[in-house]
Amino acid sequence: MRTIDQFNFCNQKVIIRVDFNVPIDKNTVTDTSRIEAAKQTIDKICSDGGSCILVSHLGRPNGFQDEFSMRKIIDSVKKVLDKKVLLSNDVIGEDSTLKASNLKPGEILLLENVRFHKEETKGDLNFAKQLSQLGDCYVNDAFGTAHRAHASTTIISKFFTNKFFGKLLEKEVLAIKKVMSSGQKPILAILGGAKISSKIPILKNIIKIVDDIIIGGGMSFTFSKALGGNIGKSICEDSMIDICRDILKSAEKNNVKIHLPLDAICSLDFDNNSSSEVFDIMNIGDDYQGMDAGPNTLKSFEKVILKSKTILWNGPVGVFEFPNFSNGTKALGKYISESTDKGAFSLVGGGDSVAAVKAFGIQNNMSYVSTGGGAMLESLEGKTLPGINALLS
């Protein structure tokens, strides 16, 4: 892995692929954490005496659309980076070429939304080549799009001998490695969320790596049904029942212990204010649906979490968006915090569990909280991401 620390960027114009795809509500950026995540890389290059040409997408525009213009975020970028940042009104046109060629050491240019060109997502070679000509070297710091073979995330790498992992990309890759290939035992994976089908490739991969797997949340009910339980109206994917049985068998063969819930807090309706009751996981009332982990489940999960030295968490163990059914996911966060305090390495990755730790304000208690949803999931599936591969070749 060639990282930015191994190079002095003095007098270099550096194209940095960042992920500034931030949420915007009524012209206001509501969460600047993706911009903050790129600051370390940008600061290092500027302090070396290099200049930065920032490339990012914003949303999913169809051609040029004002609502996805980088003008919407430029003030937040300046504020977070605490530096003057120029903006070009195109990506590979006259304006960006002129502004890039006039950049002085320490200066920063943000290009217009790279997805205004359909060539970006198509991974067009010629577009990547034109983009590459704006700079002398390339840094990828956009973990969130590293699973896409797009022009600015992957193809552009072909045109540089000097290409590097940015600080964020480096941290993400090291955190995944710490779990998947050099984790201290016992290694625990906690998988939750609604759909078992979306987690099957992860389960199949991690079963070869971990010692324990906790399965919670909506996806656990398909396992309960596979084991002959009555799950009432709980969420279930019938087409996955046989696969659940195969996974249980494969776990046994690999000496991996699967921990399923023992009980669940169940409600009559999918509603925060619906009346609720605790049921044994194998015998849920016909009119009820599982909404959150029950008290016995939490006690059993707590034991496993506290004995683990490496913990991967993907997916909530209940409908945490409803305050009345968020207790299980919150408790899990607390146990992982305690285990981390005692020296375990904890990685939280993949959309909703990241949203949960942020909502509960415990992100700083985890060893690492990933910034990439799809990219993290594909990494956990054991795939090498194209954006990362391109930097290595």
Question: Positive or negative, the Cα torsion across 356, 359, 360, 366?
Answer: positive
DSSP secondary structure letters along 88-130 = -S-SSSHHHHHHHHTPPTT-EEEPSPGGGSHHHHHT-HHHHHH
CB of 15 to ligand AMP, least distance (A): 33
Residue 253 burial by Cβ neighbours in a 10 Å radius (0-12, 13-18, 19+)? exposed
Alpha helices, DSSP H, located in 181-322: 200-206, 220-226, 241-253, 295-307
Q: Which is nearer to ligand AMP, 119 or 378 (CB)?
A: 378
C-beta neighbour count of 60 within 10 angstroms: 10
Three-state DSSP at 290 gives strand
Q: Of 61, 166, 318, 333, which lies in the binding site for ligand AMP, with binding defined by CB under 6 A?
A: 318
> d(Cα 345, Cα 339) in Å, to the nearest integer?
8
- In the complex with ligand AMP, the residue whose CB is nearer, 12 or 370, is 370
Answer yes or no: 193 catalytic.
no
SS3 assignment, position 264: strand
When the beta carbons of 134 and 332 are compared against ligand AMP, the nearer one is 332
Q: Which of 195, 309, 334, 358 is catalytic?
A: 195
Q: Which two tokens stand for residue 270?
A: 């999918």
Nearest distance from C-beta of residue 291 to ligand AMP, angstroms? 5
**Per the residue annotation, which of 59, 106, 229, 374 is the catalytic one?**
374
**Shortest separation between residue 293's beta carbon and ligand AMP, angstroms:** 9
* Min CB(294)–ligand AMP separation in Å: 11
Least Å from the CB of residue 222 to ligand AMP: 11
Segment 288-317, which members bind ligand AMP (CB under 6 A)? 290-291, 315-316
Question: Exposed, middle or buried, 191 (CB in 10 Å: 0-12/13-18/19+)?
Answer: buried
Rounded (5°) CA angle 223-224-226:
60
Kindly state the smallest distance separating residue 197's Cβ from ligand AMP, in Å.
Answer: 9
Residue 162 in contact with ligand AMP, rule: CB under 6 A: no
Say whether residue 328 binds ligand AMP (CB under 6 A): no
Question: By beta-carbon distance, which residue lies closest to ligand AMP?
Answer: 193
- How far apart are the C-alpha atoms of 56 and 20, rounded to whole Å? 6
Number of residues that bind ligand AMP (CB under 6 A): 17
Rounded CA-CA distance 275/226 in Å is 27
Identify the H or E element spanning 258.
strand 257-259
Q: Which is nearer to ligand AMP, 76 or 370 (CB)?
A: 370
Q: What x-and-dash track marks residues 218-257 binding ligand AMP by CB under 6 A? A: x----------------x----------------------
Nearer to ligand AMP, 166 or 318 (CB): 318
Would residue 374 show up in a list of annotated catalytic residues for this protein? yes
Kindly tell me which of 173 and 190 has the beta carbon lying closer to ligand AMP: 190
Stretch that binds ligand AMP, among 72-80, 240-248, 251-259, 318-326 (CB under 6 A): 318-326
Q: Of these residues, 49, 351, 373, 382, which one is catalytic?
A: 351
Q: How far apart are CA 218 and CA 285, in angstroms?
A: 16
Backbone angles phi, psi at 187, to 5 degrees: -100, 130
Active site residue 351: yes
Residues annotated as part of the active site: 34, 195, 351, 374
Q: Using CB under 6 A, list all residues that contact ligand AMP.
A: 193-195, 198, 217-218, 235, 290-291, 315-316, 318-321, 351-352
